[in-house]
Amino acid sequence: MTGAVDPKDLIILTPSEKPVAEKARALGARINPPLDALADAKAFVIGVKPAKWAEASQPVLAHLSKDAVIVSVMAGVPEATISQGFEGRSVVRVMPTTGVAQGQGVASLWSSHKAALDTGLSLFAPMAETAVLTSEDLMHAATAVSGCGPAYFFAFTRALAQAGVAEGLPEDVAMKLARATLRSAAAGVVGDEALDTLIDRVASPGGVTQAGLVVLNENGALDRPVKGAVKAAVDKSTELSG
């Protein structure tokens, strides 16, 4: 647990057994209690598949306080739509990465209500680096960059390992080196130091790393597909929100 909420104050509603819920139960959380237990809830976090949210919300509506803040971690569903479905309650949208489970995530937030935004920040700041968006429309781009981004880094790491195998490394060694290099690189991103500075720290002019970087982005070979991937994710997020 990250310390954002005392486990004894947590109520978790889940349709199936999950290890994380059982871990929370062991720390004092209530799992699937009678719904009238929701009456004192200050925030209701909904994290279901976007197509299922309206159906999932119906049983709880009569039990939530009118002042309860709805915290949505669903991609693509607009604030106004969620608020309408929850009978006018204030909403904060949050797009977290899976790293929140280790207290090292990233979370983008948007709300038109300051109190709801403050609730979202209080919940996610202890387990994520937070970014408050200036427009709800930017949630699509934030989702494409940070929500989808970990998969891009994992895919690159896989390709790096495969390239090592092509150069003669045993597969297990190449994979171990690539995965450890991903962790090592992430550990080097401290504060707001410029990424160019971080690159220059590894890539000496005329050196081995510089030779690889020249090939990696020759004629935009790296920048172009990354921009394309983010654009495709934005387009898909926009489509789902419609």
Do 95 and 143 form a contact (C-beta atoms < 8 A)? yes
pLDDT at position 87: 95
DSSP letter for 106, please.
E
pLDDT at position 36: 93
- Regarding whether 157 and 122 lie in a shared domain, the answer is no
Does residue 121 sit within a domain? Answer: yes
Using CA atoms, how far residue 142 sits from 43, 149, 190, 226, in Å, is: 23, 10, 21, 14
Structure tokens at 56: 């999932």
- Regarding whether 118 and 78 lie in a shared domain, the answer is yes
CATH code where residue 228 lies: 1.10.3730.10
pLDDT at position 1: 53
pLDDT at position 239: 87
- Regarding whether 184 and 120 lie in a shared domain, the answer is no
Range of the domain at 173: 149-241
pLDDT at position 200: 93
Which has the closest alpha carbon to 163: 176, 178, 153?
A: 178
Task: Taking each helix axis as running N to C, give the angle between helix 149-166 and helix 171-187, from 0 to 180 degrees, rounded to the nearest 10.
Answer: 140
- Regarding whether 130 and 203 lie in a shared domain, the answer is no
User: How many whole angstroms separate alpha carbon 234 and alpha carbon 24?
Assistant: 34
User: How many whole angstroms separate alpha carbon 151 and alpha carbon 208?
Assistant: 27
Give this prediction's pTM: 0.85
What long-range pairs does 110-117 form, CB within 8 A, spacing at least 24? 110/79, 110/135, 110/136, 110/138, 110/139, 111/79, 112/79, 112/136, 115/69, 115/90, 116/69, 116/70, 116/90, 116/91, 116/92, 117/92
When divided into structural domains, the chain yields a total of 2
pLDDT at position 190: 79
CATH code where residue 113 lies: 3.40.50.720
**Per-residue pLDDT tens digits of the chain, which is 242 residues long:** 566 678 888 999 988 888 888 888 998 999 999 999 999 899 999 998 888 899 989 999 999 999 999 999 988 889 999 999 999 999 999 999 888 888 888 999 999 999 999 999 999 999 999 999 999 999 999 999 998 999 999 999 999 999 999 999 999 999 999 999 999 999 888 778 899 999 999 999 999 999 999 999 999 999 999 999 999 999 998 887 76
- Regarding whether 177 and 86 lie in a shared domain, the answer is no
